[in-house]
Amino acid sequence: MTQSRIGAELVLATPAQQADRWAHHYAQWGTGYERSLFLRREAALAESGFGRTHLRMWLWVDDAGEVLASCETYAGTAWYCDDVGRTSLEPLQAIASVLVVPELRGQGHAAAMMAALSVELRALGTTVSTLFSDVGPNLYRKAGYLLHPARKTVIAVPGHMAAPTGVVELGLGDLADVLERDREELGAWVGGSTAPALAEVVQVDRVAWFATRARYRAWARGTEASPVLGVAVGDSFCLWSADAADPLLHMLAWRPRTPHDAEKMVHAALAHAAELGLRQVEFWDADRDTGLDPWRRPAVQPPGVGQSRETGLPMMAWLQQGRPMPLVWMGIERYAWC
């Protein structure tokens, strides 16, 4: 519990309070859903393996018990390399679902809650916190978050597209070995960085959490969810999610080894999106070339139309003092979204 403003404190939500906030989530973010289906989705996500062990809802409440604001945190890990080449796995907390109901907005509640949350996360030993803001960076800058320049690549989906050959479809049962290898490769990449760097580790249970979301989104569209969550081509792989208010396929992880592999995986993503009746494939950050990230070299970036981010701005707060702030952040493309 953190108290940093007279008459208000930060507390963890009870199950009943969570359910009450989900109704407000529906009013804010429930586009495309029937209300009861959205609420069932929120309950299913909270009861998933990832939800039970890694998800927390925080409330900013006044001394009368009124909820002034709320948000969620998602625990994860990230490889970190400092300025002298020391590499370590660090605790990360992603922020999502920051919400002040309309009648309470404009009174500073969200900013006060975020400042208190930064204190709480720091006390828990969290090294870094990330978030994606639909309202722009100003609110979060007050709590120490810095904007991370990024773009997205959008590819239109043809009306029909045959699946490519030489591609292996990936479901949940295929991910343990794939992501364990990816975890080690991320660590090696970070350890070889020439500047302070951070790379978020993809977790199987988080991908399963996204698969649950995708299932409910498909039901909201009147269709059935596909068990396919990505593809592999040799040692290359990508993971995606069809969960979005708009009919889009979002890339979660993009790990091409060669231009040929990248072309095959883009083809597979487009074919899968066409099969689901989706209209675009989005590769968040996929056109960002730092010169240090081996999976975002120009030769393996997906073709398409690059767009600046006017919403969904990625931000990072470095919560541990005395360590160099990463100059390179390899995030999970759609990983931190609520």
pLDDT of residue 66: 94
pLDDT of residue 334: 47
* Residues 229, 272: Cα–Cα separation, whole Å: 10
* Residues 90, 94: Cα–Cα separation, whole Å: 13
**Other residues' Cβ atoms within 10 Å of the Cβ of residue 221:** 16
DSSP 168-188: EEE-GGGHHHHHHHHHHHHHH
Per-residue pLDDT band for 337 (boundaries 50, 70, 90) equals: very low
276-326 pLDDT per residue, tens: 989 999 887 655 555 667 777 778 888 887 666 555 678 889 998 888 888
Per-residue pLDDT band for 3 (boundaries 50, 70, 90) equals: very low
pLDDT of residue 178: 96
- Is 70 exceeded by the pLDDT of residue 255? yes
- Is 60 exceeded by the pLDDT of residue 216? yes
pTM over 0.85: yes
- Averaged pLDDT for residues 139-154: 82
Question: Which class does domain 151-309+316-330 fall in?
Answer: alpha beta
Segments of the chain assigned E as strands:
2-5, 8-12, 55-62, 67-81, 87-99, 128-133, 146-147, 151-156, 168-170, 197-200, 230-233, 236-241, 248-255, 280-284, 305-308, 313-318, 328-330
pLDDT of residue 134: 72
Range of lowest pLDDT (57-71, 142-156, 196-210, 295-309): 295-309
- Averaged pLDDT for residues 204-220: 92
pLDDT of residue 309: 59
pLDDT of residue 299: 83
Share of the chain above pLDDT 70, in %: 90
Q: List every span in the chain annotated with CATH 3.40.630.30.
A: 2-74+91-147, 151-309+316-330
pLDDT of residue 292: 64
pLDDT of residue 298: 79
Most confident of 55-69, 143-157, 310-324: 55-69
Q: Which residues contact 245 (CB under 8 A, 6 or more apart)?
A: 29, 31, 32
Architecture field, domain 2-74+91-147: 3-Layer(aba) Sandwich (3.40)
Say whether 316 sits in a helix, a strand or coil: strand
Give the number of residues written for the chain.
338
28-43 pLDDT per residue, tens: 999 889 999 999 999 9
Q: Are 26 and 182 in contact (CB under 8 A)?
A: no
98-129 pLDDT per residue, tens: 999 999 999 999 999 999 999 999 999 999 99
* Rg of the chain, C-alpha, whole Å: 20
